[in-house]
Every structure is written in C-alpha cells, then in structure tokens.
Structure 1
Amino acid sequence: MGIVYLAHDAAGRPVAVKVMRPELAAQEEFRRRFRKEAEAAKRVARFCTAPLLDAGLEDDQAYLVTEYVEGPDLSSVVEAQGPMSGSNLDALAVGVATALTAIHRAGVVHRDLKPSNILLAPVGPRVIDFGIAQLADTLAEQTGTVIGTPSYMSPEQARGELVTAAADVFAWGCVVGYAGTGRSPFGRGTTPEVLFRVAHHVPDLRGLDERLRPLVEGALDKDPERRPTAQELLDRLLGREEVAVEAATRIVSEAWTSPGSDGTGPDSDGTGTVSAPAGDVAGQTSRTATVSRRRLQAVVAGAVAVAAVVVAVIVFRPFGLGEKEKPSGPLATRDLQISGIPLTATVDAATRQGTSVSIRFSVKVSGAKQWWPSDLFGDTASGVSLIDSPSGSKFSPASKDGDCLCTSMPKQWLKSGDTLPVYASYSDVPESVETVGVDIPGFGLIPGVPISEG
C-alpha cells in the first residue's frame, strides 16, 4: 500500500509517516475511505496504541502520521527468544485487549491484528495500524486479493462476510496463542490451507498456559456471536468488572520491561524525513532501531522477573481461578481398537460459559496401521454427545446455519503417533449440571467428567 518513513515533528519528536501509493491516492473511492478512516482513527484513545497524530490528503498524495514506537515487534521477539510465559505473557494479553477495547469504543475495527502489528515499547505492548486494512479494500477490489494475514483472520473474514469487532477478538486469541506457544494456532501453509483450518479445525494450543487457554479458546470460537468482547476479555484477565482502559494501561506499564534495543535509534539530528526500507503500511518495520538477539534474550528474560512483582498480584484471579481450582491434567482417558489400530481418547477439558459447554478431547493413534478419522466420526464430531446421568438428558453439539459447532474431520490418513484434536460446543446445558458423561463414537460413554467455569 505504500512506504513508511521515519520523520520528526516541529518539536523534534520522532514520528512514523505512512505515505500511500500515489495510484491509490488518486482514486476517488480510496480518498473517500481515507477521509472516513482517518477521522475514525483520530478518535481512538492512546491506551496501548500508537495513536494517529495527523492525516493529509493533497492532490495525489495521502499520508498518515502516527506516534513512533521504538521497540521490536512481537514476531521478532518470539522468533529470537521463543514463546513468552508467566507474567510477561499475561501483560501482553492484557495490553492487547486494552488496545482493542479503546479501538472498538471509537467505532473502529482493526481487521489485521497480528504479531508484526504489536510493538513492544518501553512502556508496554502497543497496537499499531488499526483501520489500515479498511483502506486496503480499494486495492483488494481491484486485484481480487484477500486483505489480512491468513493465520490471524477470523472464519467470517476468510469467507468474505461482514467483519466486526468480533474478528479482532478472534485475532487476539491467535496472537496470544502464538506468543505463548511460538506457533500460529492454525499452522502454516498456503493461504487456502490455512483459511480452511481457520474455518473448520480446532486451534492447536498445546503448551499454552492453562490459565489463559480457556479464554483464548472462547476468543477463537467459530461463531462471532459467542466470542467475548474486548472489554469482557479485559475484565476476565484482571478479575474485575468494567475495567477502565486507563487503569489497564497503567497496570501494564508498571509491570512491563521493554525488550530494548542495541543502542541504535532514529535519526537524531532533527532535520526531517529519513528514508526507510520499502515495506507495507501495516507496520513500523522501517524503524532504524534494531535489536540484537543476545540483547533481546537477556532483556526479555529480565522482563519476566521484573514484571512478576506487579502482574502476579494483578492476574492472580483471572480466568475464573479465584473461586474454584480447575482440574490439572487429563480429565479422563479411554482406549479402543478399530481394525487392529490402537486408539486412545483423552478428554482434556470441559468448560462452561453460562448454559454453553465446550468439550475438548483428542484421539491418539498407535500401532503400525494408518487411521482414517471419518471411519469413526463421519464428516464431523456431531455424534459426540453429553449425558447428564441423574436426569438422563442428552445434549448434541449445537449448530449455526445448519453447520455443527464442532470439529470437521480431516480428509487424510493419520499414522502412528499422530493426535487428532476434537472440539464440540453444546448449548442449553443447565448451570446446575456440574459433571457429564462424554459419549464418543466407538469409545462409548466416559462418565463423571467435571465441568469447569470457562
């Protein structure tokens, strides 16, 4: 879409200037969208964001001026250091949820939240480039390309449907999953492959902090109406109600230690614009400050220790852990042999949000033979039922627009050592039901599975 430059304002403070491609700026439809998005972006409060300072539209030139954020982006930190954990991961989750809350209150949808759009500044995570993807629609309509990053797009976005704030919440779940495990919840591959997994597969969250995992799973619900709002994410993370973005920003800043830099920085002579390497407008990747891997590793390691002092206290009761401890480890296992193929089903979680219950289990393949999952489940996990033993009530997976809110079976053979993750969501389960039996095709009824608050 354009080029990012490092510049200085009249007071000598560094800013990022995002200059759009002139052929885009010359188009009336783009100019209309530019004016609209710039006005909306100016309303976004500067809490855990890089605010828009100014915008210009002159002749065939359009540009945005945003606060310059000096620091590495999340993807470079994870690539250099590995997954985040503990207090640092908590602070990141809170910071990004805070930014989304501020963005959504201004009536803006980010549409392209991803690790490279999250900068780790000295005062905490900062989300950049909200609303930029909306401008890119002009380019998309001309070229037929998909605007967004496949691994962080919501199912409705992948299908070309209306994109709302719920899509940003889905991206938040992908970002936190990536930060906590070092990989995208929906893997890598070609765009069609990734988008298919986004729309039909359960996310791969193995290794993610168990306190965060239920909240991330809720954010990654295929149905946008079932996802929490950004404010609800923030409230759950901090264990309070209606947390103010000002307070959340202060909490993150007090707990945060920046990954830092190698001592280089922006041009300091105050003379004006400095040309940067070519890049798209969806990031401040053009900054002159760089981060050495050794320094990054040392400072991030220190950040975990320093941040623990504040965030460990603040985040003691998030994720519903204050009142009731969740079971640790697998809830139940059951073995089965199909045509000589040993299979093991492990029920990993049963979580509740109101009268909605989500079940997560996995099937591991052993032995020398390959297994075709559809032979047991059919096309989806719609045959997995919940049984309330005292009442005898049976619950089948919920559906939306005729589609099961459950895992679609992969059309491929699984070999020994492979594990198939399975997810199913159920509605109208009375809140008085605390344990259920999970009836899995082939494995039979696994009784006494406890339901935890999600």
Structure 2
Amino acid sequence: MPPSIASSRELPNAVGRYEVVRQLGIGAMGRVLLARDPVLGRHVAVKLLRDDLAIAADVRDALIVRMRHEARAAARVTHPNLVVIHDMGEDDVLGLYLVFEYIEGPTLKQRLTEGRLSARQAARIAREIGAALTFAHERGVLHRDVKPENIILSPTGAKLTDFGIARVPDSTLTHAGGLLGTPAYSAPETFRDGRFSPESDQFSLATTMYEAIRGSRAFPGDDALSVASKIMNDEPEAFAESLRYPSELDAILARGMARDPTARFESCKILGTKVMDALLSRSSISAPSPDAADAQSTESIMPPARLSTTFGAPPDRRGWKFLAAGLGALAVIGLLTRMVLRSDAQSPVASAATQDPSAPTAEAEAEVDTSAGLPSAIATAKPPRKPPRSHSASSTASSAPAPTPSASISASTKPSASTSAPHPHPSTTPSAAPSSASASSPTK
C-alpha cells in the first residue's frame, strides 16, 4: 500500500485541517468523509482515493490526475444546482483530497428504492438538472456521468455532483483503467467512438428521468455488454399512458434518448423544461415558474419520512371542528338573548335596515382561522350587530348555520409547496453533526 494513502477501513481523525466526523460512503474509486472545518465552523464532504483498488501505480497516478481535474471542472461552474467545491489539498499521510460543500439529503438512486417519483418531484428535478447541465455546457464543461447516483436531493433542490470524469476544453484526460461513464446511462456514440458532447449528457439525463418517472431503467440488462447492446439497437418502452401521463412524455424522452445525437433537443435545459411541462399538464396541474419552483420546499423531492422531520406532524383538525361548532352555538344563543332583552328598544327603521340580506351576520364575521395554529375566532370575533325588532329578522338570525372552519382547515394534511406548514418541533433542529440517515455526498 502506498504510504501516502490511508486504509479505507480506517477512519482518520483529521484530513488536513478538517476534523473527521464519520464516513459518508465509498464509491468505485474513492471514499467520502463528513468533516468539520474548524476555521469556518461548517460541515464539509472530503473526498479521498481508495487504497484497496487492485490497480497499477500508473493507473493510481492517473486517478490522482483525475481528482485534480475534477476540482478544476467543479471550480469552473457555480450554479445553485451544482455541488460547490471549497478546497483542494494534500495531506502528508492521506494524500490528495478534495473538499466539497456538504449536502444533507439522499441521492436520487437512494430515493428510487422507495418507488418512482411523483409528477411534481420528477418535474422539479428535470428542470433543475437540465438547467445546471446547460449552464456547465455553455462554459465548456461536460459532465459525462449523469445518473441517479450523482444527483442529490438537497433541502434547496436537486444538486448534480461528481465531475470526476468531466471534460474541460484544455483537458487531455481519457480514462484510468476503465470505461468512462456508467453503461446504463451512456449514449450510444460513447460506445462507438468514445465521443462525448452536450448531447451525450442529454442522453444520460433522459435515461435518468425515464427511470425516475417510471421506476425502472430504460435499458435494463444483466451486464454492461447486454445493456450497451440494447442502447445501440433498441428503443425504450413507452409507459406514459399506463401511468396516466400524456403520450407526448414518451416522445420527449425518446427524443432525448435518440441514437442520433443530432436528433436530440438543442440543450438539456430544453429537455428538462419539456419533461416538466408534460408531467404537470395532467390533472390541471400548472407548471411552476423558475422563481416559484426555486422557492418550493423540499417536500417536492424529498421522501415522505424526511418531510415529517422538516415540517413536523400535520395538526389534528378534528378538535377545531368541534370548537368551531361550539363557538357557533354560543353566538346564536347570545344573539337570541339580546334580541329578547332589547326587542322593545329598537325602532322600525332599525328593523328594516337589518333585513338587508347582504349584511354580514355575527357568525360570518367570526370565522375560524387555523393558519396561526389556534382558532382566531376566540380573539377576533366581532360583536354581533344590534338585533332587529321584527319577528322575521329573529327567524333569520336564529336559522343561520353555525360557523364552520375556514377553507384552510379542509386542505390536505399533507404538506406541499403551496401549503403553510406548522413550525417544526425544536427536536427537529439539525444537530451539530448531521445524521447519517440523510447524509449524501459526492462519491465516485
């Protein structure tokens, strides 16, 4: 074992100035540690090479070159949906390391083990990752390994990570002992002649979204050769109508996975936008604007279990219904009592004025609003108007229905991007060291 690389089975106390908390994961070529930056007081993800790879020294040297290359590629592009690199250094014992922002949340691959995504979840990821890829392409950077494992579902949206085999204009990096990319998501031209382009990244995005929406791969196979053969010769199976999506979704994904690169869309951003529009066109769901989508909570992409931690348990609304009914009964009793006590004090003019059907009743003015967590009728109900003298007005008031909870009570108890959520319990506040259950980080 080279002396400059620590064992992947050992957890170092520190990497450079970064204090190691725990291991986040191990990829094909490296491992990632959760660490704390004592200078800036934040958690970061530190990426190192694995030492247990049965590879020659020259291949290991090529991997080190690749890590430096990854740092350069990531530093060239700064986008809300791309993982940010903070630092690169070389430890006397551990060797070269990269320091990325720590993203708390599962990868798309981990999320898909729970089942396919909903329309809104998939739409947001398609739009965000499509825009991020086009942003990188416009700056001369290709990713070359877009797949569910490299998409992290963060609290602020989807994040694309792992530029380990990315290409920048002045790069001569080809490969280090293996095939570039992941076969199940690789474009056919990359198998034929190793040619990568923005269109090949688009193919990878289309296959990724196909899997996210349907819940299974576009080109399944038992091994890399069978998968590559299907990509080169077969068409992906249509599925949209079976899931009650418009048939145009099949056509959009098929165009993104076209065997001819020139037949694909002009950019990944266009592909992502079209996928989003097709997904949200059903059931009168309107597509969010970019600003609105950015402002949406992580409910739209995070697993339900994670939602309960973020938003807290939905309130029990049955109690408010009983309370609202009680308040309505009290309001009616009070109104009738005042009518009896003051019936002789009212003039005919006042009686006639109160018979206007457009005038609001005391019950209507004492609506229950649970948006603040408690019925506001207790504090904000207005005094009832002076009751009319005539018997007809009394009948109208006495027959008025008891107030019912406002529309906000009948809304779905499931939190969504457009539904106000109760403040989380203090116990849901993240601890100093993020838990392993929701930790994800770039691995390769």
Report TM bin, short chain.
Answer: 0.5 to 0.7
**In the aligned structure 2, how far is the partner of 1:194 from the partner of 1:26?**
26
The question of 1:224 aligning with 2:261 is answered yes
Contact 1:177 1:184 in 2 (8 A): yes
Partners of 1:41 and 1:306 in 2: CA distance = 32
Read off the aligned partner of 2:105 and give its amino acid letter.
Answer: G
User: Equivalents in 2 of 1:307, 1:174: separation in Å?
Assistant: 27
Find the counterpart in structure 2 of residue 39 from structure 1. 72
AA partner of residue 254 (structure 1): Q
Structure 2 CA distance for aligned equivalents of residues 191 and 56 of structure 1:
35
Deviation for aligned residue 1:258:
6.0
Measure how far apart 1:27 and its partner are: 5.9
CA contact (8 A) 1:24 1:30 kept: no
- CA gap of 1:255–1:225, structure 2 versus 1, over 3 A, is farther
Stretch moving more, 178-187 or 32-41 = 32-41
Partner of 2:31: 3
Correspondence for 1:204: 237
Once the two structures are TM-superposed, the CA of residue 175 in structure 1 deviates from its matched residue by 0.8
Q: What is aligned with 2:97?
A: 63
CA 1:185/1:127 → structure 2, altered by over 3 Å: closer, same or farther?
Answer: same
Question: Which residue identity is paired with 2:100?
Answer: T
Secondary structure in structure 2 of the residue aligned to 1:222: coil
Instruction: Determine which structure has greater relative contact order: mean sequence separation of CA pairs < 8 Å that are 6+ residues apart, divided by chain length.
Output: 2
Gap runs ≥5 in structure 1: 240-246, 263-290, 310-454
Structure 1 partner of 2:146: 113
Aligned to 2:110: 76
In the alignment, does 2:278 pair up with 1:254?
A: no
Counterpart residue type for residue 249 of structure 2: L
For residue 133 of structure 1, report the CA deviation from its aligned partner: 5.8
What SS does structure 1 have at the residue aligned with 2:45?
Answer: strand
Determine the C-alpha separation between the residues in 2 that align with 1:70 and 1:55. 21
Unaligned runs of 5+ in 2: 1-28, 278-288, 314-411, 420-444
Structure 2 counterparts to residues 169-248 of structure 1, below 5 A: 169-207=202-240, 209-210=245-246, 211-228=248-265, 229-234=267-272, 236=274, 248=290
Distance 1:249 1:47 in 2: 12
- Of Structure 1 and Structure 2, which has the larger fraction of its residues in helix? 2
Deviation string 1:384-412 (CA, Å, 9 cap, x unpaired) is xxxxxxxxxxxxxxxxxxxxxxxxxxxxx
| Aligned residue among 11, 16, 19 for 2:45 | 16
Q: Larger Cα Rg: Structure 1 or Structure 2? A: 2
Task: Determine which structure has the larger strand proportion and give its number.
Answer: 1
State the 1:138 CA deviation.
Answer: 7.3
| Counterpart Cα distance in 2 of 1:76 and 1:128 | 15
Q: Is the 8 A contact 1:48 1:126 kept in 2?
A: yes
RMSD: 3.8
- Whole-Å separation in 2 of the counterparts to 1:45 and 1:152: 24
Aligned residues: 268
Q: Amino acid of the residue matched to residue 15 of structure 1?
A: V
SS at match of 2:33: strand
Give the secondary structure class of the aligned counterpart of 2:299: coil
- Report deviation, 1:237: 5.3
Give the conservation status (yes or no) of the 8 Å contact 2:253–2:275: no
Report the CA distance shift for 1:86/1:292 in structure 2 as closer, same or farther (over 3 A). Answer: closer
The structural deviation recorded for 1:214 is 2.5
Query: Is the 8 Å Cα contact of residues 95 and 249 (structure 1) preserved in structure 2?
Result: no
Change (3 A) 1:256 1:249: farther
Asked whether the equivalents of residues 54 and 66 of structure 1 are also in contact (C-alpha less than 8 Å), the reply is yes
- Cα shift at 1:25: 9.2
Asked if the contact 1:88–1:256 (Cα under 8 Å) also holds between the matched residues in 2, the reply is: no
Q: Cα distance 1:306–1:170, how it changes in 2: closer, same or farther (>3 A)? A: same
* Pairs within 5 Å for 1:285-300: none
SS at match of 1:113: coil
* Shift in CA distance, 213/159, structure 1 to aligned 2, threshold 3 Å: same
How far did residue 6 of structure 1 move?
A: 0.6
Amino acid paired to 1:230: C
Find the counterpart in structure 1 of residue 442 from structure 2: none
Superposed counterparts of 1:54-453, under 5 Å: 54-57=87-90, 61-80=95-114, 82-132=115-165, 140-141=175-176, 143=177, 145-207=178-240, 209-210=245-246, 211-228=248-265, 229-234=267-272, 236=274, 248=290, 251-254=293-296, 256-257=298-299, 306-307=416-417
SS at match of 1:257: helix
Distance 1:308 1:85 in 2: 16
Distance in 1 separating the partners of 2:413 and 2:231: 32
CA distance in 2, matches of 1:115, 1:100: 14
**Distance in 1 between residues matched to 2:195 and 2:152, nearest whole Å:** 28
Provide the identity percentage.
Answer: 30
How far does residue 234 in structure 1 lie from its aligned partner after superposition?
4.5
